[in-house]
Structure 1
């Protein structure tokens, strides 16, 4: 309603108000623990057997991933349920890594980037985590969760997680000169690589970057990156960077004959429920994101919207 058909704000906000009581939002909230968490843990469900990770994949039911999904579903951050959830998580949820309170953040850049995005969206002061992320930036402008293990170059996945967080923080607070400069540096890291290529060889850094997946969790692909650049461009009221063209062409080529986009793969592991019909089938979220990216791109290009 907001991004594709230009519905009046009063109409799409009224529809957004239903996220708490209908559909996927209500279903996810129904799985919430009484203490505000999901599955009794911050990153890993309570009493999790590590063998499950190797046998079935990473679990996605704990608090941090559930909170991100609620943000993506559009739960009104000013609603009583959202505010109560944020307060309960702050009081009761501790990170597996160091047992520090949830809203103090973790040590990995990917996790902290998503925590900043979620916290800023839901009205939490996440500025201390932002400052930590700014200190953790790599010399090449991006971020890498392997920095703590000695890595001195950035990764696509870590960088997009942090960029999304910094953009949400900037939308809510205006950001700081330092945070805005860091976000521009992270954008340049991706743009130099045309969103999916190795800088040294020009070859795709990972074939999966060209495959669409939703929910993204911590994973990276060109649609996630393009949707970030769309949101940043709308926020700044700036034209798209032309270095996005190759990724746009890749996205157009993935459109099905019926006008939809399919998920190419799904992250294995425990979930509360699925939000599409699986790999090879039309994905509502991939289709929404692709359509709004191409609409945005088309408004700044010759030949009409999405062409």
Structure 2
């Protein structure tokens, strides 16, 4: 089967993005396919898991009920579920979104100190993702944006550990904040302050080629070269490149090595594998498993390589 045909033989959440990014489908055809996310497949399954109180698994960042022997971090709470719905492409104007988001706003409270969900909490890695989901679904998250703008570190990015004394930015946190700021800009219009902060955060990543230490040029973390889905709050080369692609800017020459990492992982049949799954409780899987061909990684890799070719 042709790779594009294989991608289209999938969930509506994959199909509409393949049609938009990798085929010559019309905007009307793309919109019709995207509308199916609300009613079919992964999108419908995830929406059905929202509780009567508006939360997923009873918590904002952590499930309401936890056991002591769970591996990793649980991924079933509201923050991760909203991020996933956004990645799937649930239309913010859909009936399901218009019903789900006000419930989160009304009942969601952060475990940190009981803050209202769309007011954010104290960690910029969490707040970046809250900005992204809030702006995407039409919620006013300008208060959180102002907070993260003031938390940018001297080297250009952000770090969740800044409140504990860290003075160096984190790849993970910076990528999460950048994604949020970009969606916020698109939802609310141009802002010099937001754009300046976003471009400064991008420069932090670009100075490091998206995966290297600035001081030595060594790979900062071997995990940055493994492509996971869902990626949650974790940085990797494919996630970062897909962010830069989504800005609409031409590729900076400093992403060339990162692009080559993506190209080198293409399999002989033209697909990409799922390299890693982060341990923890999930609602359901989105791929066949580690080491198997991954539609999500293949979709993202193909559109990144198309962007890199100009």
TM-score (norm 1): 0.94
Q: Aligned-pair RMSD on alpha carbons?
A: 0.8
What's the CA shift string for 1:145-191, capped at 9, x where partnerless?
A: 00010001101000000000000001111241111000000000000
5 Å-filtered alignment, 1:2-81, equals 2-49=20-67, 51-52=68-69, 55-81=70-96
Q: Which residue among 168, 193, 207 is the counterpart of 1:178?
A: 193
> In structure 2, what is the equivalent of residue 303 of structure 1?
none
Does residue 1:248 correspond to 2:259, yes or no? yes
Please state if 1:191 is matched with 2:206. yes
Residue pair 2:47, 2:96 contacting (<8 A) in 1 also: no
What secondary structure, in the 3-state scheme, does the structure 1 residue paired with 2:283 have? coil
Cα distance in 2 for partners of 1:217, 1:294 equals: 22
SS in structure 2 at match of 1:3: helix
Question: Residues 153 and 168 of structure 2 are in contact (CA less than 8 Å); yes or no, is this contact kept in structure 1?
Answer: yes
Aligned mates of 1:68, 1:37 — CA distance in 2: 13
For residues 39 and 205 of structure 2, what CA distance do their matches in structure 1 show?
38
User: Is residue 287 of structure 1 aligned with residue 298 of structure 2?
Assistant: yes
**3-state SS, counterpart of residue 21 of structure 2:** coil
User: Which range moved further: 3-12 or 151-160?
Assistant: 3-12
**1:188-227 → structure 2 map (5 Å cutoff):** 188-227=203-242
2:268 corresponds to which of 249, 257, 264: 257
CA contact (8 A) 1:58 1:268 kept: yes
Residue 6 of structure 1 deviates from its aligned partner by: 3.0
2:51 is paired with a residue whose SS is coil
Q: 1:87 Cα deviation (Å)?
A: 0.4
Residues 19-39 of structure 1 show CA distances to partners (whole Å, capped at 9, x for unaligned) of 011010011111110121100
Provide the C-alpha distance between the structure 1 equivalents of 2:280 and 2:164, rounded to a whole number of angstroms: 26
Is the alpha carbon distance of 1:6 and 1:107 closer, same or farther for their aligned partners in structure 2, counting shifts above 3 Å?
A: farther
Alpha carbons of structure 1 residues 211 and 217: separation in structure 2 relative to 1, 3 Å: same
Residues 59 and 270, structure 1, Cα contact 8 Å, conserved in 2: yes
Aligned residues of 1:39 and 1:45 also touching (Cα < 8 A): yes
Moved over 4 A (4+): none
Matches of 2:250 and 2:76, distance apart in 1: 38
CA contact 1:71–1:118 (8 Å) conserved in 2? yes
- 1:114 equivalenced with 2:125 (yes/no): no
Equivalenced residue count is 292
Contact 1:112–1:129 (CA under 8 A) maintained in structure 2: yes
Cα pair 1:169 1:175 within 8 Å, conserved: no
Is the CA contact (8 Å cut-off) linking 1:76 and 1:82 kept in structure 2?
yes
Alpha-carbon distance, 1:111 to partner: 0.6
The runs of 5 or more residues in structure 1 that have no matched partner are: 301-307
The 1-side partners of 2:76 and 2:178 are apart by 24
In structure 2, distance between residues paired with 1:179 and 1:6: 33
